Structure 1
Amino acid sequence: MSISSMFSNKTSRRGFIKFCSYIASALALPASLVPKIAAALERKPRLPVIWYSFQSCSGCTESLSRAHAPTLEDLIFNYLSLDFHDVLQAASGEAAEQACEQSMREHHGRYVLVVEGSIPLGAKGAYSVCNGLSSLEQLSKAAKGAAAIVAIGSCASFGGLARAAPDPTGARSVAELMQDGQIMKKPLVNLPGCPPLPVVISATLAHFIVFGKLPELDGENRPLAFYGNTIHARCSRLSFFLHGQFAESFDDEGARKGWCLFKLGCKGPSTHNACASCKWNGGVSFPIDSGHPCIGCSEPGFWDSKGFYQPIRGNVPLHS
């Protein structure tokens, strides 16, 4: 959609440039790239997106619906052509399936495939079936024509809750299926979190629109701009950790004074995410600010991490 269409949707030029600046900042890009981002978003057609939900709770979709910069409406009307999403689309049944098939044909090699939820291999895929196809069959078919795949949330990235012991459904991540040769290898970005921050989703898609490629990734295929540092390194309670001031229980004096939650099992020192800097609900807060320790939801296997409220053992790095 052109910039004139954006104005018709009540998006001012000032608001548009502010959004471009926000995206550049979120992705740790220099301010000098803001004009390039603006020009690309004005010039390029909306990015075709096919979004599949497999073994998930739809929490990642809920997270995207709460995006504020840009809003979900801005994303869909101005930047993305959301051609298939079984939760957000108006169509259902055969009409929805036909729309998906048409998008895969017309945008072959150009659409981004978003995967929410893990993919079950147990019982020959019977744990998750739609339109007579298992999740693996749907994913394999859609991956063939995708320009890139975005694994949204910890379930798609690492297996998530369904993968927790004893893993009754044989849940697997997108990366594992690529490594095993069960789906075609494509450029892959993992956006873990239970759920991931809205800005992580919108900024990653914006990066692909502007630059035609995924952002720089870490060893777990996560964008370095968001997952390059631990929550601990940017935590608002870090000074209390450095001074040895810890809450011993959830209702003691230390907790009321906002002291460090490390002894209550905070996984911030071993968790790579941007919660402490981007925060939730439009930058209002995040769990640690609200008095609850980080549970490490953006790390592989966090459901089997020996208890959310057990302190981390060993040395704690301050900046990593």
Structure 2
Amino acid sequence: MRQAETLGEQLARKGISRRAFLKYSAYLASIMALPPTASKVLAEGLAQARRQAVIWLSFQECTGCTESLTRAQGLTLEDLIFDFISLDYHHTLQAVSGEAAEDARRRSMEENKGKYIVIVDGSIPTKDGGVYSTIAGHTNVDMLAETIEDAFAVVAVGTCAAFGGLPYAKPNPTGAVPVSKLVGDKPLINIPGCPPVPEAMTGTLSHILSFGELPALDHMNRPLAFFGETIHDRCYRRPFYEEGKFAKSFDDEGARKGWCLYELGCKGPIAYNACATVKWNGGISFPIQSGHGCFACASPNFWDQGGFYKPLSASIAPAGTAAGIAAAAGAAVGAGTAWMARRRSKAIAEEHAGNEEG
């Protein structure tokens, strides 16, 4: 009987008021850049949803993605597991082990055929038959293929799963590949980041639960709600960039005054992520606010970009000019985001030209 309950019924039985639920839905709608009217639709969709079966596979990874999820604000891990999803298998969090764990995975696949979601964190080694990472005697390649066969959708969380991450970096001794290289016939969502923003994970799952479909994605299969703009677009230090005020070292006067960190290697102009808006630790801060430049950790090949503290270009065009902004955005070509960079560069340049005319 309890399995047939909707999420709304479960929450009511646990004493969670409709007001509290609407408040959470409004928060979720806001961080997903949905219009205010969408919060009610989101709440109604979640209330009518039933627990979503989720199988979480961890391959070549550091457990950082799971650590990020357990520290999500607004929607806690306990809510996510016990109210919103049925986390049937998770290498890091599950209590069972051995054959009992594998039985749980296969049972969930059978009982929820065509409906379950597979979440993957970590890249998949393919060299030498994939022997560099095995679970229960099976390579990651084989386990992934078996698990996604009857899945509704696949979600690659973290840059390792989405783009290969650290294991994929040169010289890539294990032949690591991202999930996208092995998933061709299933809906795929990439939620990159090292680690990914926790709200990007919980928000994406909540969207699927509420609307029964994948959220709007960009050309890299990233949710536009969280990856539609660059860190540079929303960075509170951007006015200093426009004024040509750059910190020259991490302890100089400019750094103490909060000037732009571009010359210290900040990759904000090519980094598509929600760090500058959602932030971390309950909206307290994010790396740039803490005084450190962005690594663009949610971008492809970010480990191979020539150093975290190397500026995007050898020289900076005159500060505050459309050319200077375009040069920063154009550097995204080397990070695999050329298309988005050109579009963003053109938009910023036109905006700047309009401001100069005004």
Classify the TM-score, shorter chain: over 0.9
Q: Percent identical across equivalent pairs? A: 52
Paired amino acid for 1:316? A
Q: Which residue is equivalent to 1:18?
A: 23
The superposition leaves residues 157-204 of structure 1 with CA deviations (integer Å, 9 ceiling, x where unpaired) of 0000000000000000111123xxxxx510001000001000000000
Post-superposition CA distance 1:224-274 (Å, at most 9, x none): 111111000100101111111110001101111111100000000011001
1:70 to 67, 71, 75: 75
Aligned with 1:73: secondary structure? helix
Q: TM-score, normalised by structure 2?
A: 0.85
Bigger drift between 263-272 and 92-101 goes to: 92-101
SS of the residue aligned with 1:83?
A: strand
**Residues 1:316 and 2:328 aligned together:** yes
Give the equivalent residue in structure 2 for 1:232: 232
Cα distance between partner residues in 2 of 1:280 and 1:92 = 32
CA distance in 2, matches of 1:264, 1:98: 51
* Corresponding residue SS for 1:50: strand
Aligned mates of 2:7, 2:281 — CA distance in 1: 29
Where do 1:88-107 residues align within 5 Å?
Answer: 88-107=93-112
Q: Which of 1 and 2 has greater Rg?
A: 2
Q: Aligned pairs, how many?
A: 315
One-letter amino acid of the counterpart of residue 250, structure 2? F
Structure 1 residues 2 and 200: CA distance shift in structure 2, 3 A: closer
Matched, 1:49 2:54: yes
Following superposition, the deviation at residue 8 of structure 1 comes to 4.6
Q: CA deviation at 1:5?
A: 2.6
SS of alignment partner, residue 219 of structure 2: coil
1:291 alignment counterpart: 291
Whole-angstrom distance in 2 between the partners of 1:167 and 1:283: 35
- Partners of 2:80 and 2:283 lie apart in 1 by 19
The SS at the match of 2:142 is helix
2:34 aligned with 1:29: yes
Paired residue type of 2:232: H
Tell me the distance in 2 between the aligned counterparts of 1:84 and 1:14: 32
CA distance in 1, matches of 2:96, 2:46: 28
- Once residues 27 and 305 of structure 2 are traced to their aligned partners in structure 1, the CA distance between those partners, rounded to angstroms, is 34
Aligned to 2:323: none
Runs of 5+ unmatched residues, structure 1: 179-183
How far apart, in 2, do the equivalents of 1:10 and 1:66 lie? 23
1:124 matched to which residue of 2?
A: 129
Structure 2: runs of 5+ lacking an equivalent: 1-5, 317-326, 330-344, 349-358
SS at match of 1:229: coil
Q: Which residue of 2 aligns with 1:246?
A: 246
Give the CA deviation at 1:14. 2.1
Cα RMSD (Å) of the superposition?
1.4
1:90 shift after superposition: 1.6
| Structure with greater contact order relative to length (CA < 8 Å, sep ≥ 6) | 1
SS at the partner of 1:48? strand
Structure-1 separation of matches of 2:281 and 2:7: 29
- Matched to 2:77, the amino acid is L
Encode CA deviations 1:11-30: one digit per residue, 9 max, x unaligned.
33222111111221122222
